Amino acid sequence: MNLQLLLDTLADGQFHSGESLGEAQGVSRAAVWKQLKKLEALGLECHSVRGRGYRIPGGINLLKRAEFEAQLSTVAASALADISLALILDSTNRVALEQAQRGGSHGQLYLAEQQTAGRGRRGRVWVSPFARNLYFSLTWSFAGGAAALEGLSLVVGLALLQGLAGEGIEGVQLKWPNDLLYQGKKLAGVLLEMSGDASGQCQVVIGVGVNVAMPEDMAVDVDQPWIDLQQIAAKPLDRNRILAALVNALVPALQQFGQQGFAPFREAWSQHNAYQGQPVRIATESFSVQGDCVGVDSGGALLLATDQGIKAFYGGELSLRLLDDA
């Protein structure tokens, strides 16, 4: 029995009899029951009522390739070489990076309803419940190697913010170098990984995770304050529409960045800097520096006004905190 077809049927939140579910796929009711147990393993609640059948309370908003593609802009659609949608992956970034190392195409988009080993920056676990949030990775080719990628994570974050703003999600801010915050709580994150020549042509895997409708019981594993789009919008949201809005904003930003670097994005990024003008601490395992955040330079480096003057800090294993929270 096809699990995807079962999900498609139960996604409407209505009751469906075991008999009708079995007939639809030509299997026994026992086979249906076994598949329903798999839904529970995915973390989906499935109600059974004698005489009525089975349903997923409230339904589920599944990603649908056709619905997503129908909402892509001409620019975005022409830039995507292929779209891969999986029910479950360990990590969209791992799959994308593996394919890139095998010579995968520029513009490959990898989507998953759930990640079993989603990762954030600095090795953090990214909690990835089934069909509730957005998890995707996009491969993109750049010339000029690692040096040409300065500020890329900031551009990605800004594009995501602008995509959300186009859907009426206002008030999102950017935390250097790769987080989206709302009222100080994490809404989304970006993880970049590179394959290829560090001094020449390279492919970057752009991993994105966005909290859309995070279940409270899943959030116990999140180690920082968080929020999701549904809380901000105070209404259910269509993940296909949000995904299309994000990709529609991301693709032209990547195209411009490839030609002009970070400099054209600097002013817009600074306007949404969550810590602009505030006292912060930036630290690694070996050092810690305090100062006032005064923005970023034309290469995307974070600028702190310290007792020793303006200091610039580039991405890497750095931790940035408001001084009150550090």
Catalytic residues: 121, 186, 321
Alpha-carbon dihedral 248, 249, 252, 258, rounded to 10 degrees = -130
- Bridge partners, 186 (sequence order): 181, 226
Residues 172, 268 contacting (CB under 8 angstroms): no
Residue carrying the six token digits 């505030």:
278
Strand segments (E) across the chain: 47-49, 53-55, 82-89, 108-115, 134-142, 173-175, 179-182, 185-196, 202-210, 279-283, 288-296, 302-306, 309-313, 319-322
Cα 117 from Cα 137, distance rounded (Å): 14
Residues 127, 222 contacting (CB under 8 angstroms): yes
Cα 326 from Cα 323, distance rounded (Å): 5
